[in-house]
């Protein structure tokens, strides 16, 4: 009997519990409406706060986390459903049977929907607790057009293979590539980066430019960009500690340090090496073998030499285009190519400058190269650069090129170029800042197409060190611009009579605490790029 009684009790509960809930929903209708409105208001406030963080992140060019995007979409969906059902509350207020009784059926239907939406809104609200809404994206790649167009020349292939083999050696953590300026050191390490990522040899590959005057914060920032995070600490030591912790979390990471001139203390940057972290390997480039071997204690060194003669000609042909197939032009082109010293940078620059030219243009270029040699211009290197510079059409584009030679070569901000070009009055027949911006963008694109500048990210462009030195030299020689050689830091003001002959002064690395009150520069205006 006890069993029968228990079963009967269970049956009654199963039958009447749904009825009880339904009755409650009908008579608690107003309370349910108020509860939903309260929860939706709280959810709306939370969405607004998240959107503030999202907007701030977008302004910083950060990427929004996928779960945040999905959460915001779910808030929009539930809000639409809540708005729809709350609009029906007026219908639920209507009474039936001559207004004597509430409309129980409508109230039950609306109240049931309200309760369902409220439960979902609460769940969505709980999911909206985010530690962060965004992240700094890792660079899509550290390659550029020169890497994408990279040809596996025999003289490069064996070096590339040797570097890849050394990177897989567990006993080797510090590697270096050395060779003369313009030989293609940066290109080959970018090719290495591309290869190790494709073959999954390393999980993460980052690149930073060191240069003759290393800026530790800049180097740290470039590595952090590659890893996809931002620094909170402002001191170099604090940033180094944060960077070291981040790199040590990676199982297999390759750090590429381009353009080493002298010893760089890896610990000061925040790069673990040696026994600190066996998962972090460092690949460096330099013009100087000793800077790598003695300065950086490199375990493996690779010498990158000039291209073989047939490789140089093939590269030149590819860059010069189909016109070079003309029999009348080809023998001239061969002579022009020979004067590029089998150095990739000069082959690319000269071929780009002459691309599309007729036979007369090519012959004139060859005569110019010969003339430059006779004039004692450091042949064949500067003669090739001189030809590319003189081939630029118009004074405005030449002025922009020379101006780039006064700024830091590895990160030239377009905005800075705009300020200087407008301030110096380099552009003719413009009346608004927008016109100047459009003119500058067009000229920068032309310089990139001529291989005299390299495209960059975040409104920046880059200039190869060789081109940077050449541009600075031309500005000093032809336009009487007082400028420091690359890597030189000015710590005291030059002698008074020294500046009288110059028309402009460019001081990108000025460490002088105070400038003189009066400058005697009768030749022309004075320009500071401090």
Domain with residue 457: its CATH number is: 1.10.10
Question: Measured between alpha carbons, how far is 331 from 136 in angstroms, rounded to an integer?
Answer: 52
Q: Report the candidate in 255, 251, 204 with the shortest Cα–Cα distance to residue 228.
A: 204
CB 79 within 8 A of CB 42: no
**C-alpha gyration radius of the chain:** 34
Residue 229: partners with Cβ closer than 8 Å, 6 or more residues away? 135, 136, 246
Question: Measured between alpha carbons, how far is 179 from 111 in angstroms, rounded to an integer?
Answer: 79
Q: Report the candidate in 471, 487, 489 with the shortest Cα–Cα distance to residue 479.
A: 471
8 within domain boundaries: no
459 within domain boundaries: yes
6 within domain boundaries: no
Question: Measured between alpha carbons, how far is 287 from 494 in angstroms, rounded to an integer?
Answer: 30
pLDDT over threshold 70, residue 374: no
203 within domain boundaries: yes
Question: Measured between alpha carbons, how far is 57 from 153 in angstroms, rounded to an integer?
Answer: 44
Among the candidates 89, 117, 135, a domain finishes at 135
Question: Measured between alpha carbons, how far is 367 from 373 in angstroms, rounded to an integer?
Answer: 10
Q: Dihedral, CA atoms, 135, 463, 280, 162, nearest 10 degrees?
A: 140
Among the candidates 464, 479, 494, a domain finishes at 479
Using DSSP bridges, classify how beta strands 504-506 and 481-483 pair: parallel, antiparallel or unpaired.
Answer: parallel
Among the candidates 390, 414, 435, a domain finishes at 390
pLDDT given for residue 15 in this prediction: 44
How distant is the alpha carbon of residue 526 from its chain centre?
A: 34
pLDDT over threshold 60, residue 8: no
83 within domain boundaries: yes
Q: For 31-76, how does the pLDDT look when each residue is reduced to its tens digit (9 = 90+)?
A: 778 888 888 899 899 999 998 888 877 766 677 888 888 899 899 8
Q: Do 355 and 469 reside in the same domain of the chain?
A: no
Q: Do 202 and 183 reside in the same domain of the chain?
A: yes
Give me the count of residues in the chain: 530
Q: Do 153 and 173 reside in the same domain of the chain?
A: yes
Q: Do 209 and 297 reside in the same domain of the chain?
A: yes
Residue 65 Cα distances to 69, 81, 121, 126, 174, angstroms: 7, 25, 21, 17, 36
Q: Do 485 and 438 reside in the same domain of the chain?
A: no
Q: What is the residue range of 529's domain?
A: 480-530
Q: Do 260 and 153 reside in the same domain of the chain?
A: yes
pLDDT given for residue 253 in this prediction: 92
Question: Measured between alpha carbons, how far is 194 from 215 in angstroms, rounded to an integer?
Answer: 26
Question: Measured between alpha carbons, how far is 20 from 14 in angstroms, rounded to an integer?
Answer: 10
CB 483 within 8 A of CB 472: yes
Count the domains in the chain: 5
CB 442 within 8 A of CB 345: no
Question: Measured between alpha carbons, how far is 388 from 421 in angstroms, rounded to an integer?
Answer: 22
Q: Do 381 and 337 reside in the same domain of the chain?
A: yes
- When mean pLDDT is compared across 117-121, 451-455, 477-481, the lowest value belongs to 477-481
Buried/exposed 140-157: b ≥16 CB within 10 Å, e otherwise: eebbbebbeebeebebbe
Q: Do 368 and 279 reside in the same domain of the chain?
A: no
9 within domain boundaries: no
Q: Do 413 and 399 reside in the same domain of the chain?
A: yes
Q: Do 157 and 298 reside in the same domain of the chain?
A: yes
Q: Do 461 and 435 reside in the same domain of the chain?
A: yes
Confidence of residue 486 (pLDDT cuts 50, 70, 90): low
Q: For 162-216, how does the pLDDT look when each residue is reduced to its tens digit (9 = 90+)?
A: 999 999 998 899 999 999 888 899 999 999 999 998 888 898 899 999 988 898 9
The pTM of the full predicted model, rounded to 2 decimals, is 0.62
CB 160 within 8 A of CB 195: yes
Q: Do 154 and 256 reside in the same domain of the chain?
A: yes
7 within domain boundaries: no
Residue 246: partners with Cβ closer than 8 Å, 6 or more residues away? 224, 227, 229
Q: What's the CATH number where 286 sits?
A: 3.40.50.300
Q: What is the DSSP letter of 262?
A: S
5 within domain boundaries: no
Q: For 125-135, how does the pLDDT look when each residue is reduced to its tens digit (9 = 90+)?
A: 998 888 888 87
Residue 426 Cα distances to 390, 399, 406, angstroms: 18, 7, 15
Question: Measured between alpha carbons, how far is 93 from 461 in angstroms, rounded to an integer?
Answer: 67
């Amino acid at each position: 009997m006890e069993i029968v009684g228990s079963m009967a009790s269970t049956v009654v509960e199963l039958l009447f519990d749904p009825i009880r809930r339904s009755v409650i929903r009908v008579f608690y209708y107003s309370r349910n409406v108020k509860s939903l409105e309260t929860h939706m208001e709280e959810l709306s406030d939370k969405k607004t706060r998240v959107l503030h963080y999202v907007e701030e992140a977008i302004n910083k060019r950060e990427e929004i986390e996928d779960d945040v995007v999905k959460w915001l979409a779910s808030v929009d969906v539930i809000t639409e459903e809540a708005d729809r059902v709350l609009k029906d509350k007026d219908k639920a207020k209507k009474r039936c049977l001559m207004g004597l009784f509430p409309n129980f059926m409508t109230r039950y239907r609306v109240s049931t929907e309200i309760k369902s939406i409220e439960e979902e809104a609460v769940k969505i609200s709980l999911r909206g607790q985010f530690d962060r809404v965004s992240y700094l994206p890792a660079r899509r790649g550290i390659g550029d057009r020169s890497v994408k167009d990279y040809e596996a020349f025999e003289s490069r292939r064996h070096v590339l293979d040797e570097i890849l083999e050394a990177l897989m050696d567990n006993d080797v953590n510090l590697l270096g590539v050395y060779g003369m300026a313009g030989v293609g050191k940066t290109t080959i390490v970018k090719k290495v980066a591309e290869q190790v990522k494709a073959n999954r040899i390393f999980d993460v590959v980052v690149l930073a430019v060191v240069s003759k005057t290393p800026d530790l914060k800049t180097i740290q920032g470039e590595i952090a960009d590659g890893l996809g995070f931002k620094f909170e600490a402002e001191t170099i030591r604090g940033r180094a500690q944060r960077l070291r912790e981040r790199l040590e979390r990676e199982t297999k990471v390759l750090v590429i340090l381009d353009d080493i001139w002298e010893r760089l203390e890896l610990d000061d940057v925040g790069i673990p090496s040696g026994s600190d972290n066996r998962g972090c390997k460092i690949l460096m480039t330099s013009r100087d073998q000793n800077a790598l071997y003695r300065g950086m204690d490199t375990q493996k060194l690779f010498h990158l030499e000039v291209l073989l003669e047939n490789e140089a000609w093939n590269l030149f042909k590819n860059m010069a285009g189909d016109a070079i197939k003309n029999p009348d032009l080809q023998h001239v082109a061969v002579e022009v190519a020979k004067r590029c010293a089998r150095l990739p940078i000069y082959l690319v620059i000269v071929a780009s400058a002459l691309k599309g030219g007729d036979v007369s243009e090519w012959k004139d270029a060859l005569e110019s190269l010969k003339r430059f040699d006779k004039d004692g211009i450091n042949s064949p290197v500067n003669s090739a650069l001189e030809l590319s510079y003189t081939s630029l059409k118009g004074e405005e584009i030449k002025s922009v090129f020379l101006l780039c030679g006064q700024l830091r070569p590895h990160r030239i901000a377009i905005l800075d170029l705009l300020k200087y070009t407008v301030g110096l009055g380099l552009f003719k027949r413009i009346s608004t800042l927008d016109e100047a911006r459009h003119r500058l963008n067009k000229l920068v694109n032309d310089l990139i197409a001529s291989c005299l500048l390299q495209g960059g990210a975040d409104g920046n462009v880059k200039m190869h060190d060789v081109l940077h030195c050449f541009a600075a030299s031309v500005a000093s020689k032809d336009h009487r611009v007082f400028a420091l050689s690359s890597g030189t830091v000015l710590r005291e003001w030059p002698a008074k009579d020294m500046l009288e002959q110059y028309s402009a002064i460019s001081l990108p690395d000025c460490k002088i605490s105070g400038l003189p009150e009066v400058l005697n520069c009768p030749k022309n205006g004075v320009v500071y790029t401090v």
